[in-house]
Structure 1
Amino acid sequence: MTTTTSSPTIILIAGHWLGAWAWDEVVEHLTTENFRAIAMTLPGLDGDDPGRAERTLDDQASAVLDVITEHGVSADQPVTLVAHNGANAPVSLVLDRHPELVHRVVWVDSGPVAMGSAVAPGIPEELAELPLPSFELLAQQASLEGLSTEYLARFRARAVPQPGPVLRQPIELTNDARRRVRTTLVCCSIPSAQVLELARAGHALFAEVANLEHLDVIDLPTGHWPMWSRPRDLARAIQTAASRAT
């Protein structure tokens, strides 16, 4: 199909421990609506890559840009980027380096990162990778609401350890134009009103949200993995965001 700015190409990027497979149900719903939806796996999260534990944020950002160019995206036909969880760091780099290629960015229970931040700067250099923790520990950090035993088992079976360099690397951002890219927050485990309040208060995880110049919010109450707990509704939210005129 021919992409337009009213229905641009959508690239979906999952976060920690996840690959393109995490979006299967969402992609199915989006393609039913005749969107061009492409899910990708970030470098370091491909279990068949023997060098994956050495991949960096720069590798991940470059891979996103490669997918963008491979699918004919340009300043005249920009892309909608959808980023979940830990995909926020490489996508923030993409917005910093090539904001003109992005029609809109949709943060799924996530958001842009601030200059100089790192996911886990204190982890030791000798830690090559971080595997998926127990669900008891994970639930202390992110809501598992809405995930069935089947989905939890799938998560456990297919999860790939997160590369250490990605967790340790501080992000370098220099281009304020990234803040002018039209943005949608899909708020799941934390309501949008609370997210915006935290952003205004300068909370470290949300402070960059306060600097965005064109911001919409969509509330989708569920846990931190809405691509599994509410895939149809998440696809509809992404479709709504991607269709918004510039």
Structure 2
Amino acid sequence: MAETNAHAAPIILVPGFWLGAWAWDEVAELLRAEGHDVTALTLPGLESADADRSAVTFADHVDAICAAVEAKDAPVVLAVHSAAGFSGYAASDRVPGRIAAMVYVDTAPGKGALDPDFDGVEKPMVWSEIEEEENLDGLTEEQKETFRRRAVPEPGNLIRESADLTNDARRDIPSTFICTGFTAELYQTSAVEHPEWAFVAGIPELRETTWIDLPTSHWPMWSRPRELAETLGEVATRAGAH
């Protein structure tokens, strides 16, 4: 068993759409082997394809993230992937003093609703749309098949709802962006040129940012797990030192 890295901040891993804690398994294993305290989340409604998602709200996801953060004895590194950039940023507004650092994994601090006009009870993963719209570089056929088999529909309320952000302290949380499917330059220019894009709307608010290009798929926890784990470990160690 690895010696505990007592000086590093605990790490909370939040997966993006259609995924549970299992999506982080390889990254979590690598981090734990280096002694890190790691918790991967399965958010409400994502427990299984049979779960009742009809009443799950955006606030439920924010509450679940905040609960995981507050369960730790020290401020955490909160790593959010893909659309979890919305709920993760809302959590940073709620409990900024409990978050030592944010890590945005091919995502950004989202503001407002992802799609306020979405009217479905849930949003299933449609593989043909994934192939058309997302970067799949570096994913094996086995990983793609696992994704297709284990994907769980997202609660519809999560897509059309949002949170009011009122705590200015969230802006001072050191934030690292690991840019995989899109480059750091594209994220930054999009936030400036398209302030109406909810997905990147929070970027200009942040006061301390670090940008890392890691060219690979939108799911680097599968296509570049070792590099992703290394960066997360470095952020946790740095955050713990402060």
TM-score, length of structure 2 as denominator length? 0.91
Partner Cα distance (1:202, 1:48) in 2: 35
| Residue ranges of structure 1 left out of the alignment (5+ in a row) | none
2:53 matched to 1:52? yes
Partner Cα distance (1:26, 1:44) in 2: 23
Aligned to 1:119: 114
5 Å-filtered alignment, 1:10-49, equals 10-47=11-48
Partner Cα distance (1:64, 1:150) in 2: 30
Aligned to 1:141: 133
Instruction: Report the Cα offset of residue 102 of structure 1.
Output: 0.2
Retained in 1: the 8 A contact 2:70–2:98? Answer: no
Partner Cα distance (2:84, 2:25) in 1: 17
Secondary structure (helix, strand or coil) at the match of 2:104 reads strand
* Structure 1 residues 161 and 52, CA gap change in structure 2 (3 angstroms): same
Retained in 1: the 8 A contact 2:12–2:76? Answer: yes
* Structure 1 residues 177 and 49, CA gap change in structure 2 (3 angstroms): farther
For 1:104, give the aligned amino acid: A
For 1:103, give the aligned amino acid: A
Partner Cα distance (2:49, 2:144) in 1: 22
CA deviations over 1:36-84 (Å, ceiling 9, x no partner): 1111101111117743332111111111122223333xxxx20000000
> Equivalent of 1:243, from 233, 237, 241?
237
* Structure 1 residues 233 and 55, CA gap change in structure 2 (3 angstroms): same
Partner Cα distance (2:117, 2:77) in 1: 33
Instruction: Report the Cα offset of residue 3 of structure 1.
Output: 4.0
2:84 matched to 1:92? no
Q: How many residues align?
A: 235
CA deviations over 1:108-145 (Å, ceiling 9, x no partner): 0001012xx21221122xx21111112x3113332111
For 1:121, give the aligned amino acid: P
RMSD of equivalent CA atoms: 1.6
2:205 matched to 1:211? yes
Q: Calculate percent identity across the aligned residue pairs.
A: 37
| Residue ranges of structure 2 left out of the alignment (5+ in a row) | none
Retained in 2: the 8 A contact 1:218–1:237? Answer: no
